[in-house]
């Protein structure tokens, strides 16, 4: 079985004049279809940089990244944008919804970029809005929704074009603990339905919703354990 994500000695450096700042120092990681993985690490560990590389928002300085059978580590920006739109559904801390569009229109937005016709767009958007339990709020704009409801819209938008990978960056960062729990339950259902979920978080209790926890420190993987192993150790 081939992994959906295959990282081989991924390195990333930034240059300030002649000074090289090495952020990722050789990451090897395989993530398989239908896994639910949390990426953790303190500030400066490289987890945000790794998230940007996984999401094809940035390219590595060295190493190989194969996403769903395609080597994306050497792609041009335009090719990366195509891969991003087709293969990856993003969920961010800030929701990133367009304020003038309804929930349904926000969810359908990736399909507009993909060139899907209006009737099919509405049908596909309705299907995922129902999956996140928001069909009764589909005609509301973001300012008429709670934070938790806005994040549900964002999750539905990430799911709408059936991507290979759902990438969630601190998805509960702006939510209270009760709403955070509800949002994490939705990610659990998404994974159970056959999707691959990678979650970036610095919160231990949020990471424990995932089935596998990968910890970064100083640009390297410090540990990579199944949740059951972590719980047994505690």
Domain contains 220:
yes
Question: In this structure, are residues 66 and 74 in contact, taking their beta carbons and an 8 Å threshold?
Answer: no
pTM: 0.92
The pLDDT score that the predictor gives to residue 103 is: 97
Q: What is the tens place of the pLDDT at every residue in 35-47?
A: 999 999 988 899 9
Q: pLDDT for 73-114, tens place per residue? A: 988 889 998 898 889 999 998 889 999 999 999 999 999 888
191: left (phi over 0), alpha (psi -120 to 50) or beta: alpha
Q: Is 194 exposed, middle or buried (0-12, 13-18, 19+ CB in 10 A)?
A: exposed
* Domain annotation covers residue 21: no
The DSSP H or E segment spanning 160 is: none
- 180 has a pLDDT exceeding 90: yes
Across the range 147-152, mean pLDDT stands at 95
Helix (H), strand (E) counts: the chain: 8, 10
Sequence-ordered alpha helix ranges (H) in the chain:
47-54, 77-87, 103-113, 118-131, 147-159, 177-192, 204-207, 227-233
Domains contained in the chain, number:
1
Does residue 77 contact residue 57 with C-beta atoms inside 8 Å? no
Residues forming beta bridges with residue 99, ordered by sequence position: none
**CATH number of the domain that residue 143 is part of:** 3.40.50.300
**Domain membership flag for residue 172:** yes
How much is the pLDDT for 228?
83
Banded model confidence at residue 233, pLDDT cuts 50, 70, 90: confident
């Amino acid at each position: 079985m081939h992994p959906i994500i295959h990282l081989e000695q991924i390195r990333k450096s930034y240059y300030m004049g002649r000074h090289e700042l090495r952020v990722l120092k050789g990451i090897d990681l395989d993530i398989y279809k239908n896994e639910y993985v949390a990426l953790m690490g303190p500030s400066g560990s490289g987890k945000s940089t790794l998230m940007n590389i996984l999401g094809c928002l940035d390219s590595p300085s060295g190493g190989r990244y194969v996403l769903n059978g395609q080597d994306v580590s050497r792609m041009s920006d335009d090719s990366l944008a195509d891969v991003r739109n087709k293969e990856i559904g993003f969920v961010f801390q800030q929701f990133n919804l367009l304020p003038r569009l309804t929930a349904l229109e926000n969810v359908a937005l990736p399909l507009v970029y993909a060139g899907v016709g209006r009737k099919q767009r509405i049908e596909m958007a309705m299907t995922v809005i129902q999956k996140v339990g928001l069909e009764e709020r589909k005609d509301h704009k973001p300012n008429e929704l709670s934070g938790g409801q806005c994040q549900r819209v964002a999750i539905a938008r990430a799911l709408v074009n059936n991507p290979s990978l759902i990438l969630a960056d601190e998805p509960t960062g702006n939510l209270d603990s009760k709403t955070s729990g509800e949002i994490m339950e939705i990610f659990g259902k998404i994974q159970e339905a056959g999707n691959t979920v990678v979650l970036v978080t610095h919160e231990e209790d949020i990471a424990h919703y995932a089935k596998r926890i990968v910890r970064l420190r100083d640009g390297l993987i410090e540990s990579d354990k199944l949740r059951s192993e972590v719980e047994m150790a505690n």
